Amino acid sequence: MKNIILLGPPGAGKGTQATRLVEARNMVQLSTGDMLRAARTSGTEMGRKVAAVLDAGGLVTDEIVIGLIDEKLAQAGHGGFIFDGFPRTLRQADALGALLARRGLTLDAVIELVVDDGALVGRIVKRAEEALAAGQPVRRDDTPEVFQVRLQEYYKSTAPLIGYYWAKGDLVQIDGMADMQAVADSIASVLDKA
């Protein structure tokens, strides 16, 4: 069982690679956005907390997100966890480390998908064009203007994690600009060595 964090700015391909790992290695993708949406309608005590905060227009606290992750970590019968979209801050990284330790789990690798910011804008525009051509709705955040704001937020809040995990010896950098299969092969190589 391997537990990893996928790091990289929006549009880097984290979701695509996580989906591949779920299919190929029976890993569980822990996407905080998906977990919050699922918790809101779950009827559990944690779900009621999430719903109350979101319904009031508030931001979900780190403690709630860690609680949701803790619930997921209790699941068995899989090939490990992929943390996607969490942690986003140094405080969350410390909380995740403490949670994994309490559960007797380890973090096997932090994989950063290294990408070119200019090329990312091109990817986002292309994704929006493909959605329009296929008659699908375009994501609200798939515009160059909104994407720039998301990119700035990533570098301000999340990029410090790169140094944090590098100092711990957990960080592995992969060329996120390579084609999807090459990126998947690089990630597989990291997991096989971990």
Q: How many CB atoms lie within 10 A of CB 4?
A: 24
* Sheet strand arrangement including 4-7: 28-31, 81-84, 4-7, 109-114, 171-175
Q: Active site residue: 20, 88, 103, 123, which one? A: 88
Q: Active site residue: 2, 14, 40, 49, which one? A: 14
Catalytic status, residue 25: no
Contact 89, 61 (CB under 8 A): no
* Residue 124 Cα distances to 15, 183, 187, angstroms: 14, 18, 23
Q: How many CB atoms lie within 10 A of CB 184?
A: 18
Catalytic status, residue 88: yes
Interstrand relation of 28-31 and 4-7 (parallel, antiparallel or unpaired) = unpaired
Q: Active site residue: 37, 72, 102, 139, which one? A: 139
Catalytic status, residue 123: no
Catalytic residue ranges: 14, 88, 127, 139, 150
